[in-house]
Chain A
Amino acid sequence: MNSAYEKYFRQDRLPHIWCPGCGNGIVLSAFARAMEELNIDQDKTVVVSGIGCSSRATTYVDFNTLHTTHGRALAFATGVKLANPELNVFVFMGDGDSSAIGGNHLIHASRRNIDITAIIIDNNIYGMTGGQYSPLTPTGKKATTAPYGMVERNFDLCELVKGAGATFVARGTVYHAKQLTDLIVAGAKNKGFSVIEAVSQCPISYGRRNKMKNALEMINWQKEHAVNVKAAQKMNPEQLKDKFLIGELYRAEAPEYTAEYDKLIERVQKGGK
C-alpha cells in the first residue's frame, strides 16, 4: 500500500476534501493498488472525471488528469482514446454524474465498446450539492429533494451497461476493498468498455437521512447485503431478497471501437471503400 500511495498520488495535493467517513478515499486506494498491480505507465495513462465528489479523484492521482464538465467525462475520454489509442484511459464518475446527466454517454460508450475503464462510485446521492436524489437512490429513501421518500424507481446500473454493450461489468463495495482492486485490474485488462460500480457510502448527505448514523453502520450494511455472484448461484430467491450482487457480473467478446477504426484507416489507405 505504501509504495502505491507514494507512487500514484500527488502528495502535494493531499489531504483530500472528502468528508470524514466518505468511501471515495477507499475506492481511490483500490485504484492505486490496481495501478501498481498492472505496473501501469503513468505517462501513458489518462484519468478523466466529471463533476461531483467522485470527480475530485483526478486532482489526487499522478497521471495525465482531466477534470471535465458534469456528466461528460466519457465523452471527453472518448476523444482522448480515439485520438491516441496508445493511451490507457480510466474514468471516475459518480452515480448522478454517470446515470442522470451523463446517461447518454454511458450508453454510447458501452455500445461502442471503446477501450476505457469506468469506475462509477455509487453513493446513492448527489453529495457535493448536499444530498439530492439520483437515479440510483433506492425507491423510498430520503433526500433533500425527496423529503417524503424517493418516488421514482432506481436504475440497476450494471444491467444498464450490460444491455448497452459493455464487455466487462462488475460491482464491488468499499467494504470489499481487496476485491475492488481485483475488479479494477480485470476491467483494465479487458480490451473494451469496462464498468466497475463501486458501492460506497455518504454518511453526511445520505446515511443521516436514512437511519444510518455513521460510516461504520453503512459499511456494515454493505457487508450484510452484498452477495458474491458465485455464492448467489447456490442461494434461493428468498435468501437473495434485499441483497445485491458483487464480483464480476458479466463478460463478453466484441470488437473494440478504436481498433476497428484503425482497421478502417488501413482499409481506406489501401484504396478500399
Chain B
Amino acid sequence: MNKKVMQGNEACAHGALAAGVRFFGGYPITPSTEVAEVMAKELPKVGGKFIQMEDEIASMAAVIGASLTGKKVLTATSGPGFSLKQENLGYACLTEVPCVVVNVQRGGPSTGLPTSPAQSDVMQAKWGTHGDHPIIVISPSTVKECYTLTVRAVNLAEKYMTPVVFLMDEVIGHLREPIDFDEVKDLEVVDRKKPDVSPEEYVSYAAGEDGIPVLAPFGTGYRYHVTGLTHDEQGFSTMAPPVVARMNQRLMDKIDNNLDDIITFESENLEDADVVLVAYGSSARSAKEAMRWLNAADQNVGLFRPITIWPFPEKEIRKIAGNVKAIVVPEMNMGQLKLEIERAAAGLTKVIGVNKVDGEPITPEEIINAVKGVL
C-alpha cells in the first residue's frame, strides 16, 4: 500500500505525466489552476515543457502546435477559459490533432461563481465549437479517477486522433482523498501511430480501415499540410462536395464506429430497480450516498454513472428506461444531460431532474426526496 492524500487537480496533473504528457500550455483560472501549477513544477524534471501563454486562446493553439511535433499535450481551464478555447478546439477536431482539455467546471454563465462548483458545461463540451464534429468527454467522480481517467483521456486522444475534454467540477478538483499509488502504477499507456510507409508514399489524411489518420510528427521527414479549412486526403483545402461529405463523415465515423471501446460507465443495482439514478462527476457521489440510504430502507434504487458523457451511452439508457418507473438525474445545472437521457429514453419512462445552480453541491437528501416522490 502506498497511499497519498491528494487533490483532484493534482491527481489529474500526475495522471497526465504518467500518461506521457510532455507539453502543457495554459492560463491561470480558478478552479483549475493547480493543474498548471503541478505541471510547471513537474514537467521540467522529465524534460517536458510548460508554458503559461498570454491567454486561453493562445494556450489552446500552443498545445495543438506542440502536439504536431509528436508530443502528448494537455491544457487545463474553467468556464470562461473553456469558452475562449472553443475555436481552436474545433480546429483540433477537424485537423485531428490529439490533445486533452481539462475543464474544471465552475458556476456560470460568464464570470459566474469562480470558486463554486457547477456541471453546466456538459452541452458546451459537445456543442461549444461551431460545426458538426466528434468529441470525447470524460467525467471523473473521485480523486483516484482524476488520475486514472486522465491517463485514459490521453490514451483515447492518441488512439483516435482527437481532442478529449476531461470534464471535472470544482468539488472533485479541490477535493482531497487518498490514492493508493500501488493500484495505479501499471496503467496502460497508448502512443499515437507512426507512419509505416515512406515519405513518398505517405498521405497524411488518408485514414486506413479504422478511419483514423496517421499524422507524422513535424520534423521527421514527412512533409505535409495541416489546415483548418475542410480538406481532402492530402490535407489540402477543398470545396468539392463529394470530398467534403466524405471527410466530414469519416470524422464522425471514427468515433461512432468505436462506441464500445470509448464508452465506459459504472452501474449498481440495476436489476429489479424501480428507480435508477443517472449521475456523473461529483453529483454521482451524492447519488451513491442517496442510494445507500434508500437501499438500507429496502427501496429498489439503482445507479448508472456515465464515465464517458460524450459519446453518450444511449444504448444503456434505453435499456434501463424500459425497466424502471423513473430515471432521476441529479446535476448541478438546469437539466443538461437530462435532455440527452430523455432523448435516449424515448418516452419509455419518466425522467426527473434534481437540479441546482446555487453554487452548492446537490445533497443526498435532495435526491432522496425526488426519489420518494416517484416511489
Question: Which residues of A come within 8 Å of B, CB atoms?
Answer: 13, 42-44, 46, 48, 58-59, 62-69, 72, 75-84, 86-87, 104-105, 107-108, 261, 264-265, 268-269
- Cα–Cα, bound, A148→B26 (Å): 42
| Per-position binary interface string of chain B over residues 30-48, scored 1 when its CB falls under 8 Å from any chain A CB and 0 otherwise | 0000000000000011010
Picked from B54, B63, B71, B219, the residue with its CB within 8 Å of the CB of A86 is B219
Given contacts A65-B226, A76-B64, A84-B219, is CB(A264)–CB(B44) below 8 Å? yes
Picked from A58, A261, A269, the residue with its CB within 8 Å of the CB of B49 is A261
- Cα–Cα, bound, A81→B61 (Å): 12
- Cα–Cα, bound, A81→B68 (Å): 11
- Cα–Cα, bound, A235→B218 (Å): 48
Cβ-based interface call for B88 (8 A):
yes
- Cα–Cα, bound, A73→B62 (Å): 9
- The interface residues of chain A lying within 8 Å CB-to-CB of B88 are 69, 72
Q: Is the CB of A64 within 8 A of B53?
A: no
Q: Is the CB of A68 within 8 A of B47?
A: no
Q: Is the CB of A69 within 8 A of B23?
A: no
Picked from A59, A66, A264, A269, the residue with its CB within 8 Å of the CB of B65 is A66
Q: Is the CB of B219 within 8 A of A79?
A: no
Q: Is the CB of A105 within 8 A of B54?
A: yes
Report B57-102 residues with CB < 8 Å from chain A CB: 57-59, 61-71, 73, 87-88, 91
Q: Is the CB of A67 within 8 A of B58?
A: no
Picked from A64, A68, A268, the residue with its CB within 8 Å of the CB of B224 is A64
Shortest Cβ distance from A49 into chain B, in angstroms?
A: 9
Cβ-based interface call for B223 (8 A):
yes
Q: Is the CB of A108 within 8 A of B44?
A: no
Query: Number of B residues contacting the other chain (C-beta, 8 Å)?
Result: 43
Nearest-neighbor residue (CB-CB) of B63 within chain A: A79
- The interface residues of chain A lying within 8 Å CB-to-CB of B44 are 261, 264-265, 268-269
Given contacts A72-B88, A80-B66, is CB(A104)–CB(B23) below 8 Å? no
Cβ-based interface call for B249 (8 A):
no
Picked from A75, A77, A87, the residue with its CB within 8 Å of the CB of B57 is A75
Shortest Cβ distance from A209 into chain B, in angstroms?
A: 28
- Cα–Cα, bound, A237→B2 (Å): 75
What are 5 of the A-B contact pairs (CB < 8 Å)? A72-B57, A75-B61, A80-B68, A83-B67, A264-B44
- Cα–Cα, bound, A63→B228 (Å): 17
Q: Is the CB of B218 within 8 A of A46?
A: yes
Given contacts A44-B219, A69-B61, A268-B45, is CB(A82)–CB(B224) below 8 Å? no
Nearest-neighbor residue (CB-CB) of A17 within chain B: B237
Q: Is the CB of A13 within 8 A of B65?
A: no
Nearest-neighbor residue (CB-CB) of A108 within chain B: B54
- Cα–Cα, bound, A67→B63 (Å): 15
Instruction: For the A-B complex with A83-B66, A108-B54 known, give 17 more contacts whose Cβ atoms are closer than 8 Å.
Output: A59-B227, A64-B68, A66-B218, A67-B228, A69-B61, A69-B87, A72-B57, A72-B61, A75-B54, A75-B57, A76-B62, A78-B62, A79-B61, A79-B67, A84-B70, A261-B49, A268-B44
